[in-house]
Amino acid sequence: MLLLVFYAVVAAVVAQNDKPTAKSVTPHREQFRVIYEWRSVDFEWESPDDRESYLNTSSYIPKNVLISGINFYGDNLYMTLPRMLNGVPATLAMIPAFQNETTAPKLKPFPSWAQNKLGDCAALQFVQNIEIDRNSIMWILDNGRVGTLTPKPDSKCPPSIVLIDLKTGNNEMERIPLPGDIVNPNTTYLNDLVVDNRDGDYAYITDNSAVDPGIIVFRRSDKKIWKLRDKRSMSSVPEATLFRINGTTVNLPVNVDGIALGPQFRTEDQTIDRTVYYCPLSSYHMYAINASILRNESLGEQGDGALQPYVVDLGTKTSQTDGMKMDSTGILFYGLIGNSTIAEWNTTTDFRTGQRTIARDPNYIQWVDRFTFDDRGNIYVMVNRLFNFVKNQVSIEEVNYRILRSHTGLKSYIYGEDLSPPSGPGHQHGGAAVPTIAASILLLLFSHILV
């Protein structure tokens, strides 16, 4: 009965709002343009002699330094440089976001050279991705294992979550090693994360391990961690493992990879929830699950299959997706690798019909890896030609890494609206009492229409 009432209200609102209102008009969008590009990555060295020494000892091999993740804070862009191959002197670095003097700035290791030292388990070893939450905390995924594209990967240090409070300016690292019985140091691959600043701060992390893929949940308040698995939605599929980009073909059977977090919404029992969206790299499907389900630790203990009743297959994309990012209103941005395309989807619409291409260019958009928003209404896209890197075909005579930017007037999901749950008896949070995802999407649609 309640759902019928919602349907009636939604229909009434839509009927009265055939003409776009000021708030419903899509923000002015600029075309994406290149703001930075590199043939190979160089650094702000402590001295010219240091650079020469690193080169002579093969501690720095320019063509082996890949830019992967990207994030914005305080007028800087932070970039991750995963140590997939040898010769990567730093795994996390920064550049100014608004510098115009050069299109290929040198990267400054962050927090410092010492805190990127290879083999030092107090330092960063292999950073694939980071997120910066609304409290200015940088969440860093450090896999600990280096040389993942070499014949002998080296598990130098335990996989860890590293936290840095950027507000203080001290850049002190708080390292939380992840337990080996949940996160295998020899097989795990901490790939991407979203941060949910509710109820003690949660991170939802994709682990695209080749043998045990899943979503890891970390609660910061008590440093508790658990892992949830669903082979059907988190595993690669044979028909999507082949990638064709500009005449280059690469076979990559990669499991759950991209992840995004939708706005808060009220459930049928008036608690507050959010939707987590994710997809394997080697898949054409997009999946969704409520965050409250992932927060239910007991489902992780039940093993594979426990999530299946709660996972919704939203439909297919025209190509595979690596990174994706949600804005604060529920618009999802993602790449379509085989199509050299950047796409968006308003999550209040049907995924099967609501996807929209916003940029396509076979020369400049070759493997979209990650997105970020700044505080001025811009979205940034990291393009890195990963297919060449994986095949060891990087040529430093060509541009390999680009950062694109477009003004959209939007901001990150991190700064989405906070909803307040009703107080009083019968309104308690819990992982067991959750609606179906269909009802969740309906409620989210209802809330967007009324805004």
Beta-sheet strand order (sheet of 285-290): 256-261, 275-280, 285-290, 312-316
Mode of pairing for the β-strands spanning 272-273 and 312-316: unpaired
Could you tell me if residue 430 is inside a domain? Answer: no
Give the residue-averaged pLDDT of 233-248: 95
Q: Please tell me the total count of domains within the chain.
A: 1
pLDDT averaged over the chain? 89
Residue 190 pLDDT greater than 90, yes or no: yes
Are 373 and 325 in contact, with CB atoms under 8 Å apart? yes
CA distance 192 to 206: 5
Identity at 80, one-letter amino acid code: T
CA distance 8 to 327: 28
Tokens, residue 311: 């996972």
Tokens, residue 338: 């085989």
Look up the CATH number of the domain holding residue 178: 2.120.10.30
Burial 279-300 (b: 16+ CB within 10 A, else e): bbbbbbbbbbbbbbbbbbeebb
Could you tell me if residue 87 is inside a domain? Answer: yes
Q: In this predicted structure, what is the pLDDT of residue 434?
A: 40
Could you tell me if residue 428 is inside a domain? Answer: no
Query: In the chain, pLDDT over 70 holds for what percent of residues?
Result: 87
CA distance 230 to 310: 10
Give the model's confidence band at 425: pLDDT under 50 very low, under 70 low, under 90 confident, else very high.
low
φ/ψ (deg, to 5) at 426: 90, 0
Give the model's confidence band at 100: pLDDT under 50 very low, under 70 low, under 90 confident, else very high.
confident
- Can you give the pTM of this predicted structure? 0.88
SS (H, E, C) 32-69: CEEEEEECCCCECCCCHHHHHHHHHCCCCCHHHCCCCC
Residue 367 pLDDT greater than 60, yes or no: yes
Residue 106 pLDDT greater than 70, yes or no: yes
Q: In this predicted structure, what is the pLDDT of residue 445?
A: 46
Could you tell me if residue 18 is inside a domain? Answer: no
Q: In this predicted structure, what is the pLDDT of residue 422?
A: 72
Residue 441 pLDDT greater than 60, yes or no: no
| DSSP reduced 3-state for 372 | strand
Could you tell me if residue 5 is inside a domain? Answer: no
Could you tell me if residue 26 is inside a domain? Answer: no
Q: For 118-174, how does the pLDDT look when each residue is reduced to its tens digit (9 = 90+)?
A: 999 999 999 999 999 999 999 999 999 999 999 999 999 999 999 999 999 999 999
Q: In this predicted structure, what is the pLDDT of residue 30?
A: 80
Query: In the chain, pLDDT over 90 holds for what percent of residues?
Result: 84
Give the model's confidence band at 431: pLDDT under 50 very low, under 70 low, under 90 confident, else very high.
very low
CA distance 338 to 386: 12
Beta-sheet strand order (sheet of 214-219): 190-196, 202-207, 214-219, 224-228
Q: For 273-317, how does the pLDDT look when each residue is reduced to its tens digit (9 = 90+)?
A: 999 999 999 999 999 999 999 999 999 889 888 999 999 999 999
Of 180-194, 219-233, 315-329, 433-447, the range with the lowest mean pLDDT is 433-447
In this structure, what DSSP letter does residue 91 have? S
CA 235 to chain centre: 17
Q: In this predicted structure, what is the pLDDT of residue 303?
A: 80
CA-to-CA dists, residue 137 to 173, 307, 422, angstroms:
11, 30, 29
Give the model's confidence band at 433: pLDDT under 50 very low, under 70 low, under 90 confident, else very high.
very low
Angle, CA of 227, 229 and 230, to the nearest 5°? 160
Closest CA to 195 of 251, 133, 240: 133
Q: Is the dihedral of CA 294, 298, 303, 306 positive or negative?
A: negative
In this structure, what DSSP letter does residue 327 have? B
Domain coverage including residue 333: 33-415
Q: In this predicted structure, what is the pLDDT of residue 420?
A: 86
Tokens, residue 194: 């979203």
CA distance 175 to 170: 15
Residue with tokens 């009434």: 12
Give the residue-averaged pLDDT of 52-79: 98
Q: In this predicted structure, what is the pLDDT of residue 9?
A: 32
Give the model's confidence band at 247: pLDDT under 50 very low, under 70 low, under 90 confident, else very high.
confident
Closest CA to 38 of 73, 83, 77: 77
Q: In this predicted structure, what is the pLDDT of residue 27?
A: 54
Crossing angle, helix 437-450 and helix 2-16, to 10 degrees?
30
Give the residue-averaged pLDDT of 411-426: 83
Q: For 4-36, how does the pLDDT look when each residue is reduced to its tens digit (9 = 90+)?
A: 333 333 333 333 333 233 334 455 578 999 999
CA 135 to chain centre: 18
Could you tell me if residue 262 is inside a domain? Answer: yes
Could you tell me if residue 238 is inside a domain? Answer: yes
Give the count of beta carbons closer than 10 Å to the beta carbon of residue 38: 21
